[in-house]
């Protein structure tokens, strides 16, 4: 069956690769971008399949209008892809107020609000798949990316909780977590905080790495797009999907480190239980609570 996709940030990077892959697969796309003229190539090649929509994802009124227009044009939304976003590098204390707000508004608040706008339609359909384009930076933190990664960690938490709410409605959700891909994420779309003294060996090193020829991402956005097109056809898609061997390696190392830390500090962790407390996982109340949470 032909699917209808709603993709944010369709004009550049991974969003453009995905939009093209979806159209070539024969599906329809409500393709959003700040500048819809950048979608003219798709309109010329796939006039009956693509519907360009001008959208600033930080504008709530535009979000709901865009979703309504897509529904009016195609009748439904089967796949939502929250892809629009950008990165920023710098020391946590150095970011301007505007830089902090723009990161959270674009990379966290926007995908949450767009999801909320689309969910009523998917709920009525009792079907749909939401792809939240996060990052390995939403699972493992690194110096220089505090604001970007705060947003992506938040998106991951929102997605995990949401998955428990919408599963009975026939709606699936996947947090897609790429490593470095050959888009303009670390190039023209990357911005930087003002430099301040004291961070030369940490933030300075990260900035130098991103802005030098040394940083050559290994991920192929066209291959990632192919994976996502196939993903929405899978009967049991993952809640988290890591993309790229770099991201896999980073997560494996971080998971091992976290497990070692948990075990080292386990006596301290459990020492805070009340003296008369039952084993939570074996108690009737505990089992009921964990079942409700889907844990």
Instruction: State the catalytic residue, choosing from 51, 109, 148, 199.
Output: 148
Runs of H (alpha helix) within the chain = 13-24, 40-45, 60-74, 97-104, 110-125, 146-166, 203-210, 221-231, 245-264, 266-270, 284-293
Residue with tokens 């090649």: 45
Ranking 69-83, 106-120, 249-263, 270-284 by mean pLDDT, the lowest is 270-284
> Is the per-residue pLDDT at 61 higher than 60?
yes
Instruction: Indicate whether 182 pLDDT > 80.
Output: no
The predicted pLDDT at position 219 comes to: 86
Looking at residue 87, what is its pLDDT? 87
What is the band of 295 on the pLDDT scale with cuts at 50, 70, 90?
low
Catalytic residue among 3, 11, 17, 152: 152
Question: Which one is catalytic: 10, 11, 17, 134?
Answer: 134
In order of 14, 63, 64, 132, 220, the CA distances from 7 in angstroms are 11, 12, 14, 10, 19
Give the pLDDT confidence of 29-57 residue by residue, as tens digits: 999 999 999 999 999 999 999 999 999 99
Q: How many helices (H) and strands (E) does the chain have?
A: 11, 9
35 phi and psi angles, rounded to 5 deg: -120, 100
Angle at 86 between CA 80 and CA 92, to 5 degrees: 130
pLDDT higher than 90, residue 125: yes
Q: What is the mean pLDDT of residues 174-188?
A: 76
Q: What's the sign of the alpha-carbon dihedral 174, 178, 184, 188?
A: positive
Confidence of residue 95 (pLDDT cuts 50, 70, 90): very high
Q: Of all residues in the chain, what percent carry a pLDDT higher than 70?
A: 93
User: Does the annotation count 163 as an active-site position?
Assistant: no
Mean pLDDT calculated for residue range 70-83: 98
Structural domains of the chain ordered from first start: 4-247 (3.40.50.720)
Tokens of 24: 């070539």
**Is the pLDDT confidence value at 291 over 90?**
no
Give residue-wise pLDDT tens across range 227-282. 999 999 999 999 999 999 899 999 999 999 999 999 999 999 999 988 887 777 77
- As a whole number, the mean pLDDT across the chain is 91
Query: By mean pLDDT, which of 150-164, 255-269, 276-290 is the weakest?
Result: 276-290
Query: Quick check: 2 and 28 in contact, CB under 8 A?
Result: yes
Per-residue model confidence (pLDDT) at position 293: 63
Nearest CA to 176 out of 289, 66, 18 is that of 18
DSSP secondary-structure letter at 219?
A: B
pLDDT of residue 184: 64
Task: Give the range among 52-56, 185-189, 216-220 with minimum mean pLDDT.
Answer: 185-189
Burial class (CB in 10 A: 0-12, 13-18, 19+), 89: buried
Catalytic-residue membership of 134: yes
Catalytic-residue membership of 10: no
């Amino acid at each position: 069956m032909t699917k209808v996709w709603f993709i944010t940030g369709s004009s550049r990077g991974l969003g453009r690769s995905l939009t093209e892959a979806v159209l070539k697969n024969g599906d329809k796309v409500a393709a959003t971008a700040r500048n819809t003229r950048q979608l003219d190539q798709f309109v010329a090649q796939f006039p009956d399949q693509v519907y360009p929509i001008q959208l600033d994802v930080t504008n709530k009124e535009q979000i709901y209008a865009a979703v309504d227009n897509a529904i009016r044009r195609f009748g439904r939304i089967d796949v939502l892809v929250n892809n629009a976003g950008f990165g920023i590098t710098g020391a946590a204390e150095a970011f301007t107020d505007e830089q902090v707000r723009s990161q959270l508004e674009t990379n966290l608040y926007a995908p949450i609000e767009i999801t909320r706008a689309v969910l009523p339609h998917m709920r009525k359909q009792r079907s749909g798949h939401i792809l939240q384009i996060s990052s390995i930076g939403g699972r493992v933190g690194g110096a220089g990316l505090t604001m970007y990664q705060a947003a992506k960690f938040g998106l991951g938490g929102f997605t995990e909780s949401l998955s428990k709410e919408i599963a009975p409605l026939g709606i699936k959700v996947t947090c897609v977590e790429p490593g470095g891909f050959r888009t303009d994420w670390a190039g023209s779309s990357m911005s930087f905080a003002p430099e301040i003294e004291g961070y030369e060996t940490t933030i300075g090193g990260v900035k130098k790495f991103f802005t030098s020829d040394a940083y050559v991402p290994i991920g192929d956005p066209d291959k990632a797009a192919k994976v996502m097109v196939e993903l929405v056809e899978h009967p049991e898609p993952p809640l988290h999907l890591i993309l790229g061997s770099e991201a896999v390696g980073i997560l494996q190392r971080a998971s091992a480190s976290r497990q070692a830390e948990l075990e080292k500090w386990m006596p301290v962790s459990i020492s805070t239980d009340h003296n008369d407390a039952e084993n939570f996982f074996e108690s009737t109340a505990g089992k009921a609570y964990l079942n409700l949470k889907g844990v």
